[in-house]
Amino acid sequence: MGLGISMVKLNFELWRQGLFKDVHHVMEMGSQELHLKLSDFENFVQMSGIQGYKREDFAILNNWPGSPRLPSRLFYELLGINQYSCVDLNKYYGALPLDLNYPFEDKSHYGKYDLVTDYGTNEHAFNAPEAYRTMHKLCKPGGLLICAQMVFKGNGYYMFDASFYEGLAAANNYSILYASYIVISTVPTPAGSDNQFHLPLSNELLDMLDWTKTQGIAVCYVLRKNSGADFCLPYQDFFMAEKQNNHGYQLQYMQAPPSRSYVPMHIGLIPGKDLLQEVAHRVARKFNITLKSKEG
C-alpha cells in the first residue's frame, strides 16, 4: 500500500494551501510507502517550493517498484509533520497491530491525531464501516481525514463511490475540503511511475473515458472533522433527512480553498405531495396577480 503520484501531489498542495499548518501527528490506516520514482517526486518538491529537502533521504525511490521501499514517514517529515503512527496487522514500520474489523477501544488514542489517512486500506477490512468509525475516533476535532479508494479495478473486498463519502460527511458534520476522481493511466511517466490524474468529481466526465484502458479509477476526499461527537452511520435519500435532519450540503465559496459542508435542513420533513401542492398554489397565485396587474 502506498502513496502514488496523485496522493503525493495532493499532500503537497494541501501543504501549500496552509492546511497542514497545525498538523503535527499523522495516523495512517495501513503501513504506507511512497510508490513513485525519485525524479517524479523531485518535480513535485520543486513545484511546491518546500524547504529542507535532502536527496539522500529519498534516493531509495529509484528502486521503486523494487525493494527496499521508502516508508511514507519521511514524506510527512518533509511536510513538517514530525510525529508518525500507523495501524496494520503486518506491524511494518512500527505499526500498531489493530484489526480494523473490530471496534477500537483504546481511548488513549481517541482524538489524538491531527491527520488520519486511508490510502486504500479500509477496503481490505470486511467490516469497512467499523474501519471508518475507527478513523473518526482517532481524528481530533478540527483535524483532517484523507480518503482515497478504488471505484474501478480495486483489489479489496469493496469498491467505493462518491456517495459513500458524501454520506459519511453528511452524517458526521465533516466539511468537504476537496474531492476528485483519480484516473490511473496505463501509460507510465517518462521516469516509470504510474501516471495518475485528478479529475473533477463529475460522472459526466467519467462517462467520456474508456474505462477498459485505465489501470483503475479511484475517488478521493479531504474531510475536516468539525466536532467531538460520536460517529454516526450514514443514511441515504429521505432517510438521511428523517434520521439525521439533514438534506444536503452548503457551498462555502469564501473559504480558501473552496469547501462545502452538510448543514441541517430548516424546512422540516414536509411530505413531497404537500410540498408540490404548495409550490403549485404559489405559482398560480403569482401568475394571477401578474395577469391582473397587466390588465389594469
Q: Indicate the pTM of the whole model.
A: 0.83
Residues facing 218 on adjacent strands: 150, 182
55 and 72, same domain (yes or no): yes
What is the CATH number for 154?
3.40.50.150
CA angle at residue 43 from 42 to 45, to 5 degrees?
A: 60
182 and 295, same domain (yes or no): no
171 and 92, same domain (yes or no): yes
162 and 40, same domain (yes or no): yes
Into how many domains does the chain fold? 2
**Rounded to an integer, what distance in angstroms lies between the CA atom of residue 174 and that of residue 47?**
30
246 and 296, same domain (yes or no): no
For residue 225, give the C-alpha cell.
Answer: 472533522
198 and 287, same domain (yes or no): no
- pLDDT tens sequence for the chain (296 residues): 799 999 999 999 999 999 999 999 999 999 999 999 999 999 999 999 999 999 999 999 999 999 899 999 999 999 999 999 999 999 999 999 999 999 999 999 999 999 999 999 999 999 999 999 999 999 999 999 999 999 999 999 999 999 999 999 989 999 999 999 999 999 999 999 999 999 998 889 889 999 989 999 999 999 999 999 999 998 876 666 666 666 555 555 444 445 565 555 444 445 566 657 766 766 666 556 554 555 55
158 and 280, same domain (yes or no): no
145 and 290, same domain (yes or no): no
CA angle at residue 172 from 168 to 178, to 5 degrees?
A: 60
**Rounded to an integer, what distance in angstroms lies between the CA atom of residue 196 and that of residue 198?**
7
Structural domain boundaries enclosing 42: 2-265
294 and 154, same domain (yes or no): no
238 and 114, same domain (yes or no): yes
